[in-house]
Amino acid sequence: MKIGFIGLGNMGAPMARNLARAGHEVKGFDIAAPCPEGVECVGSAAEAAKGAEVVITMLPDGNILRQVAAEIIPVMEKGAVFLDCSTVDVESAREVARQAEAAGLRPLDAPVSGGVGGAEAGTLTFMVGGSEEAFEIAKPLFEVMGKKAVHCGPSGNGQAAKICNNMILGVTMIATCEAFALADRLGLDRQKLYDVVSTSSGYSWVMNAYTPAPGVGVPSPADNDYKPGFAAELMLKDLRLSQQAAEAVDADTPMGQRAAELYEAFVEREGGRGRDFSAMLPRFESRRRRG
């Protein structure tokens, strides 16, 4: 396919590279980052989008997505797929989809899970909102860039799935870190806690696949001084998006709200910026019960 790829940062670059390696013709644009191997660099988002069968965006937030959409939608070929892989607010995703549909395009919102490692290895999971027809057109690209793509329903539902998933992830990480810190105070060996929880009712992806305690469980960022696999500030972004969405639809999410508050304190006032989101464990280790 002829593909335009806009946003070649830590996630976008390896995704675009994998598409080029698979034999697709990829034109790329980023305001700062260089083009990866196999991708033809062009001078603007519009130039990347012109003539493409599929335009993929991987952008920081909803405002930038709206700006880029305003630039590329007028130059895209009718019937082309506008595949946004950014993680943004649901309303921005749906508004951009409405604009794309009005211009005769096929929009998909398809945020990803799997981090930079998944982007490099081509093992991302895509949560996709949009039409079944557009999903089928993009399916071969999902198979190159990832290991799984789930069609979640109409436009915006990909973003909805992503923020619900990451709200669970953030809450679960906090609870797991609290449990390790409590075990320390109670004199319970961390390995023993892991041996119990990882095979009993406390089982979770966080405990079993991303253990926040160094030297316990499978290798994780905790074993590399909490250098980020998924940065705490990105978790904060997703939790804020979940709470923005909850407010918009009047959903009661007290655990999600509290998780957002804790990550906000960690990132903005407690030195968590630039650390993995599992670095909540040393944060709880150093704290005592209030009141």
Residue 27 in 3-state DSSP?
A: strand
Is 147 a residue of the active site? Answer: no
Q: Tokens for 277?
A: 């989101």
Nearest CA to 77 out of 48, 115, 118, 40 is that of 48
106-109 and 40-41 beta bridge pairing = unpaired
Give the span between the Cα atoms of 135 and 128, in whole angstroms. 8
Tokens 């557009």 — which residue?
A: 134
Tokens 């749906």 — which residue?
A: 94
Q: Is residue 169 within 8 Å of residue 114, measured between CB atoms?
A: no
Q: Count CA atoms within 13 Å of residue 125 on its CB side.
A: 11
Residues whose CB falls within 8 Å of the CB of residue 67, separated by 6 or more in sequence, listed in order = none
Q: Which of 147, 162, 192, 227 is catalytic?
A: 162
Give the span between the Cα atoms of 289 and 114, in whole angstroms. 34
Nearest CA to 68 out of 90, 47, 54, 42 is that of 47
Longest CA span, the chain:
65
Q: Where are the alpha helices (DSSP H) in 107-156?
A: 115-121, 132-145
- Count Cβ atoms within 10 A of the Cβ of residue 78 and give its class: 0-12 exposed, 13-18 middle, 19 or more buried: exposed
Active site residues: 162
